[in-house]
Amino acid sequence: AQSVAQPEDQVNVAEGNPLTVKCTYSVSGNPYLFWYVQYPNRGLQFLLKYITGDNLVKGSYGFEAEFNKSQTSFHLKKPSALVSDSALYFCAVRSNDYKLSFGAGTTVTVRA
Amino acid sequence: DAGVIQSPRHEVTEMGQEVTLRCKPISGHNSLFWYRQTMMRGLELLIYFNNNVPIDDSGMPEDRFSAKMPNASFSTLKIQPSEPRDSAVYFCASPLPSTGELFFGEGSRLTVL
């Protein structure tokens, strides 16, 4: 079985401040980890992924995430948040099979 | 590529009516997923097709729901009869074969009155 936990329902930050969205996972075998973003009334958009290699992964819109195997975490980060980053963020994990398991989502609000 | 295309974007219907949602995956993606998103339950996987064959339909809520993929470029999700609790946003997604990265459509927002 595989699962993802996003411990925070909401994250609020001021524009220009660092943004972190937390994710921990549980999976048998090597994890494939993903972050997606969803804007209102839109589908989910891919941000970045970790498959193998460097633990620090860089993605779209200035986001990055760090894979930490010992802590089974894959936190999403952005050094300087923008108001336009306000959205719903999903972490997801899969192992060697097809099924992608999503977290419950974290709503990010960046205030001007 | 136009991405994953879903129709209709919005559907309002009355309880008991049949609803058909449509999806065109990205060309070359040989798998397709249907998800349902609600505030209460978040994202739920309904069914997964690989090479047009349903592999896992354990997420389909009940017999009122059915899905087909007659060819690599088209899939339907049907609800008959529809009920108010089926109101949700239904997403179709197709994965990049090498990594499993999912590409989502814009969703079909269903309201059953």
Extract the runs of DSSP E, i.e. beta strands, from chain B.
5-7, 10-13, 19-24, 31-38, 42-50, 53-56, 65-71, 74-79, 88-95, 102-104, 108-112
User: 3-class SS at A77?
Assistant: strand
From A60, A111, A68, A54, select the one nearest A89 (Cα to Cα): A60
Which residue intervals of B9-101 are DSSP H helices?
A: none
A-chain CB neighbours of B4 within 8 Å are: 43
Closest Cα in chain A to B109: A41
A-chain CB neighbours of B43 within 8 Å are: 90, 102, 105
Percent of chain B with pLDDT over 90: 81
By the 8 A CB rule, do A95 and A79 touch? no
Q: Per-residue pLDDT tens for A57-95?
A: 999 999 999 999 999 999 999 999 999 999 999 999 987
A-chain CB neighbours of B102 within 8 Å are: 34, 36, 44, 46, 92, 100
Q: Per-residue pLDDT tens for B71-97?
A: 999 999 999 999 999 999 999 999 888
From A94, A85, A111, select the one nearest A30 (Cα to Cα): A94
